[in-house]
Amino acid sequence: MTTRRSLVAGAALLPFATPSAAWAQDAAARLAQLKPAGFPSQPIELVVVYPAGGGMDITGRVVQKFFERATGERSFVNNRTGGAGLVGHTWLATQAPADGHAVGIVANLIFSDAIRSQGRWSWTDLDHIAHLNAEPLNLVVNAEGQFKSGGLRGVLDAVKARPGTIRVANVPGGYYEYLIDQLEEAAGGRFLRVPFQGGAPGITALLGNNVDLAFGFFGEIRGHLAANRIVPVGVTGRRETPFVPGTPTVNSVTGRDDVNWGVSRWIAVPKAVPADRKAWIAAGFRAAVADPELVQEFRGLGAMPDPSLDTPEKVMAEVTRMAEAERAFQARRAQR
C-alpha cells in the first residue's frame, strides 16, 4: 500500500536536474536586456483553461509565484473554464489580446480541443515558447469502494463481466478518452463514461463513490493517497513512477506498449504578440523554471521539468512532435 512515508521517500530519490548556477546568476541580466520598453503596462494574465484545484491550475499558481520573482512584474491566474478546456483554448487562439498581457498555461489536450473546434482555430495559431513540466496519469480507485483490492486487473475483469456498469471519470476529448478506449480494448467491454470538466472534479466524484475509476495527476491525488482515501492501481507511461512506488504501469497489466498518455505543460501566446515581448515572456518563464526552489515544488507535485527544452524553437519542435504522435494515434483509432 502507498503510504505517506513511501510518497515522501519516492519523491526525495528522484534524479531531477539542478539548474546551473550560471543561469540563475545571469537570469536577471538576461531579462533586463530583453525587456521591451513600457511592457508590461499591466498585470499579465496567466490563463488556465481547467477548474481550480486541478493539475493545470496547481502548476499555474506555483509557476506564477516564481515568474513574478524572476521578472519583478505582477501577474494573476485566471481560470477560463468550460467545455472541458475548449472555452479557454478557443479564447486564447481567437480572442486573447495580442499584446503579451495574456499568456496560456496549456498542455497537450489543446490538440484534441483544436479538432473539437471544427476548424475555428488550430494549435498552430499560437506560438509555444516555454516548457514547464510533464508527468504521467495515475489511475486510482476509492479505498472503500468495490475495487479497493484486486488492482487494475480486477477493474478490467469487472468491465468485461458487467459492461456498461463500471463508472469511469472522463474529460471529453483527448487522452482521457484515448486511455479509456485502450482500457476497454484490454477488458473486452465498455465502461460507463461520466463526463467532468477536468481531472480534479473526477477525483472528487471518486471520493464520494460516484465513479469507480478516475485518473489524476500526482498533485491532484497526493493528499488523498497519503490519507489512504484512494488506492493507485496503474500509471501511464513506459515505466513505473517513483512518486507512487510499487504501482504497475497500465502497459504491464494489459500487455500493451502504447498506453503512454500523460501531460506536458508549457506557455503559449497568440502569434501576433510582438517578437520582443514573446522573447521576454519566454525568458521570464525559463528563469522561473530554472529556480531551484521551483524545481523542488515541482518535485512535490510529481511533475518533472525538462531543462533540455530551453529555447522557444526547441519547445515548438517538441509540441509539433507530440501533435503528430497524437494525430497518428487518432488515425489508427479511426480505422478500428
* Dist. CA 236–CA 251, nearest whole Å: 7
* The one-letter amino acid at 318: E
Last residue of a domain, one of 203, 228, 254: 254
Q: Which position has the grid cell 461520466?
A: 194
User: CB atoms < 10 A from the CB of 328, how many?
Assistant: 10
* Dist. CA 155–CA 165, nearest whole Å: 11
Average pLDDT over residues 253-272: 93
* Dist. CA 115–CA 93, nearest whole Å: 13
Ramachandran angles phi, psi of 86, nearest 5°: -65, -40
Average pLDDT over residues 158-162: 98
pLDDT at 74 over 50: yes
Last residue of a domain, one of 205, 226, 254: 254
User: CB atoms < 10 A from the CB of 37, how many?
Assistant: 5
Q: How confident is the model at residue 316 (pLDDT cuts 50, 70, 90)?
A: very high
Contact 183/191 with Cβ under 8 angstroms? yes
* CATH number of 219's domain: 3.40.190.10
Last residue of a domain, one of 229, 254, 279: 254
User: CB atoms < 10 A from the CB of 191, how many?
Assistant: 25
Contact 179/112 with Cβ under 8 angstroms? no
Q: Are residues 107 and 166 in the same domain?
A: no
Residue 78, beta-bridge partner list: 47
pLDDT at 257 over 80: yes
Nearest in space to 139 (alpha carbons), one of 209, 231, 58: 231
User: CB atoms < 10 A from the CB of 16, how many?
Assistant: 14
Q: Are residues 208 and 308 in the same domain?
A: no
- pTM comes to 0.77
Q: Are residues 312 and 172 in the same domain?
A: no
Q: How confident is the model at residue 131 (pLDDT cuts 50, 70, 90)?
A: very high
Q: Are residues 20 and 66 in the same domain?
A: yes
- In the chain, the percentage of residues whose pLDDT exceeds 70 is 93
Question: Which range is least confidently modeled, 24-28, 111-115, 180-184, 228-232?
Answer: 24-28
Q: Are residues 287 and 323 in the same domain?
A: yes
* CATH number of 289's domain: 3.40.190.150
Contact 101/226 with Cβ under 8 angstroms? no
Question: Sign of the C-alpha dihedral, residues 66, 69, 70, 73?
Answer: positive
Q: Are residues 194 and 245 in the same domain?
A: yes
Ramachandran angles phi, psi of 33, nearest 5°: -70, -35
Q: Are residues 155 and 228 in the same domain?
A: yes
Task: State in Å, rounded, how far the first CA of the chain is from the last one.
Answer: 37
pLDDT attached to residue 24: 55
Q: Which domain holds residue 267?
A: 4-134+262-335
Q: Are residues 8 and 130 in the same domain?
A: yes
Q: Are residues 129 and 144 in the same domain?
A: no
Q: How deeply is 225 buried, as exposed, middle or buried, from its count of CB atoms within 10 A (0-12, 13-18, 19+)? A: buried
pLDDT attached to residue 200: 87
Q: Are residues 162 and 247 in the same domain?
A: yes
Q: Are residues 217 and 270 in the same domain?
A: no
Give the ranges where 127-190 is alpha helix by DSSP (H).
151-161, 175-187
Q: Are residues 18 and 123 in the same domain?
A: yes
* Dist. CA 12–CA 299, nearest whole Å: 8
Domain count for the chain, please give it.
Answer: 2
Helix (H, G, I), strand (E, B) or coil at 336: coil
Q: How far is CA 276 from the centre of its chain?
A: 28
Question: Which range is least confidently modeled, 84-88, 158-162, 198-202?
Answer: 198-202
